[in-house]
Amino acid sequence: MSQAEDRAESSPAAAAPNNAAQRGRIVSSHGRHYMVELEDGSLRQCFPRGKRSGPAVGDHVMVTIKGEEGSIDRIIERKNLLYRSDDMRTKQFAANVDQLLIVVAPEPPFSDDLVGRALVGAWSADIQPILILNKVDLASAATARDRLKVFQTLGVPVYETQATDVDATRKTLLPLLHGHCSLLLGQSAMGKSTILNALVPEADAATQPHSEALGAGRHTTTSTRLYHLPEGGDLIDSPGFQSFGLHHLEAEDIRRGFPEFNEPTQHCRFYNCSHRHEPGCGVLAALERGEIAAERHALYERLLAENEARVTY
């Protein structure tokens, strides 16, 4: 039983007065079902009014309670919202997040493209990204470290864990989480649920060894939940992802997701340079000198092309 469910079961119905507008915080979601933690600590299942959807875990909301349930009347202004979108659907991760913890592992190999996209999403929402390299006991960890160097040069911190070593994992990660609202995110089979169980034992997240035959694991988290850490801070766990579309970003948002462009951009001949083909482009010059990684610039071009295809469509 999760923290939210446990408190919901133990909280008396009279803890929240009926038909009264109250402030709360969304601590879990599944479809259009949201669990809201009220200011007195009690929990109620709430639904958006009408057909509206849009609340996310981490949102502060105003709700009206009627019996054991309630309605979400208003989302209080957010600090940020991290989500992904493509031409088929939009998936919200969480709102009001300070840090994004991206879990990667040597096996199965993590995707540089997905990590790069997650970083762009984080920076565009003013969220501090942190990389967690899990399964460092594997021989292939050295190769994974080398692949992460391109992100470290951008100022993204990398912390190493062997999540099955609970004490070491807690010692490494808990100080990072203190006083912050952090979102735990990762591809399937990276060991994200094992890390969650180490940090929040009562979460009792399901773990699933990855299939060596398929080179991938099953998603073990099916809903998004916020956990309060006894040491202080909140940790939001979200389902694993295999894609990270950024169709909702404008071209300028995409450029902000590449901090290595900031200084070279000052040397561009044209103020509206797209950093793809213009003469006198400072970014292209830095790319030619090897100061910008070729794979990073290639990701930038892919994201702009996807953005332009969306606008054209």
Q: How many helices (H) and strands (E) does the chain have?
A: 9, 13
- In the CATH scheme, what architecture does the domain 81-237 have? 3-Layer(aba) Sandwich (3.40)
Residue with tokens 């007195």: 40
Q: How deeply is 91 buried, as exposed, middle or buried, from its count of CB atoms within 10 A (0-12, 13-18, 19+)?
A: middle
pLDDT at position 126: 93
**Cβ density class 163-179: b for 16+ within 10 Å, e for less:** bbeeeebbebbbebbee
pLDDT at position 307: 86
pLDDT at position 209: 43
CA 37 to chain centre: 21
Residue with tokens 């990762």: 186
Beta bridge partners of 83: 92
3-state secondary structure of 216: strand
CATH number for region 3-75: 2.40.50.140
The domain defined by 251-312 carries CATH number 1.10.40.50: yes
Q: What is the pLDDT of residues 226-281, one digit of tens each?
A: 999 988 999 999 887 778 889 999 999 999 999 999 999 999 999 999 999 999 99
Amino acid residing at 144: A
pLDDT at position 234: 97
Question: How many angstroms separate the CA atoms of 38 and 45, rounded?
Answer: 11
Residues of the chain with pLDDT under 70: 1-18, 50-53, 87, 205-222, 311-313
Is 61:20 a contact under the CB 8 Å cutoff? Answer: no
Same fold, 81-237 and 251-312: no
The ranges assigned to domains in the chain are 3-75, 81-237, 251-312
pLDDT at position 222: 59
pLDDT at position 311: 58
- Kindly write down the DSSP assignment for every residue of 109-142, as one continuous string: TPPHHHHHHHHHHHHHTT-EEEEEE--TTSTTHH
126 token code pair: 């003013």
Q: What is the pTM of this model?
A: 0.86
